[in-house]
Structure 1
Amino acid sequence: MTQPSYRWHSHLTPWVFILPTVIGLLIFRLIPIVASFYLSFTDWNLLGSPLFIKFGNYMELVKSEEFVRIVLNTFQFSCIYVIGSMIFGLLLAVLINTRIKGIAFFRAAIYLPVVTSAVAVGVVWNWMLGPTYGVINNLIEAIGLTPPYWLGDTKLVLNTVAFVQVWKMSGYYMIIFLAGLQNIPRDTLESARVDGANTVQSFFRITLPMLMPTLFFVLTIAIIDSFKNFELIYAMTKGGPQNASNTLVYDVYLNAFVYYRVGFASSIAYVLLIFVGLLTIGNFYIKKYLVQSLD
């Protein structure tokens, strides 16, 4: 009789340990996802009962010129962030992929902005880019040039915020690229040098192809991260001026908690989900095609 009891406990014990995680996932993830999907078909201001309006919110999005501009802002921000963070992350990883004394200090220093609060980063960069007392503008004036209005010019503000986000997160991608670089056999690189390949040739013909799985992994998470940037925009521009730095995630916040249009905000959130999902799936298909072509 003891053996069945033991088997029963052995099957139940793992579920007991993961139960808090499952409950948290259900309450804070799955239920809100389903609820927001329903709310995207309603008109609700957080006070009364949701009014079911079918596809009214989505039709309003399709007809809204301002929403089209916000979508373009989001993709512009995403392109700058993804390309910039991958290039700088890979460059930093190549530079610090060495065994010299004190290299751990430089790795930690480069990674430090990643763990720094985005709001704190936004406040500091606001001060540095300020039109009157900004350190950067003062340096530009010192060499005899007229500094731009970084956060007040509708043509510059989104690029400026994207650059700050690249500066903040490049260290994160650097760590991932560094792990990929250290997994490349050194014997292969040394054989290439013996055969007469220089550093540039070794990088583009050996290192980069062998780093392809890491590149696609970084590309996937960078695309996802680029669409969910909120804190930096809130701290630096609050979507302004004239919605020039407003993105889909920030627009969800504005409609839900400033304008109290929860149903409309939910529909924006699901449009964002569709964009991220399509780009992620497309990235996996591109990876599959390139892997097959390389084989």
Structure 2
Amino acid sequence: MTKDFVLDRLQQYWLLARFDKPIGILILLWPALWALWLASDGNPDGLVLTVICAGVVVMRAAGCVINDYADRDFDPHVERTQLRPIAAGKVSPKEALIVFSVLALIAFGLVLLLNGLTIMLSFVGAFLAASYPFMKRYTHLPQAYLGLAFGWAVPMSFAAQINSLPLVAWLLYAAVALWSLIYDTMYAMVDKEDDVKIGVKSTAILFGEYDRHIIALLQIVMLGLLFWIGHLKQLTWPYDLGLVIAASLSIYQQKLIFHRDKSLCFKAFLNSNWFGIAIFVGLALSYWLQ
């Protein structure tokens, strides 16, 4: 086993886990940070913050690996995914399962540093993450299922910080699940033509010509939930300003997807990172000023 071989394997595993594309980490990380700041009233425990952030990075990587394993027969036929390591034949399915197992074990090792409630919730999170990639075979709502999986960082963050799951935790979970459904539908709009050809299901296909309208409705409901959370937690004007900025970004995303141009739909998906930043900065400043 030569040095060049080892380096090539590590590079392919890095690409397989999508570490070269941090947008996925960021849009997973923001809701976890929202939850930690809300649960701790702006002063999260250092160990909890470190473990949750590291867990998000590792579980996102594990999710990407198992997703590519599940889609290994579909990805070669989709323009956007045909160069992924498994689809391109650079990583074998067996290797992918080994990489996934290692990442899952690392994530479980991290969660063992936290309390019992968080450990119990981690099993639900692991199931949601591992089963999501197979949903597109059976339902037109895989993006909704992804929302349940991505949003699970919220109850885990509350459990880790305060060892309980108050109403605010579940309201935020609902908001984050809707947010994931919104941006992943925009993402699915990029692959809609290829998905129809190969028989993969998605909300972009299900919503059809009403995709923009349904996304807009979901955005309104999500922002309403976030406003309700701010009212319950008595957050001050920076949070409200953050919501206004987030609402403006939602309108901008609607403009981007208006003609369903693939590149602009993908740009709308990427813009979700700024939505996450706006909410977090508003939260952090509101607690800091208090």
TM-score, L = length of structure 1: 0.30
Q: Which protein, 1 or 2, shows the higher relative CO under an 8 Å CA cutoff with sep ≥ 6? A: 1
Higher Rg of the two aligned structures: 1
Larger proportion of helix: 2
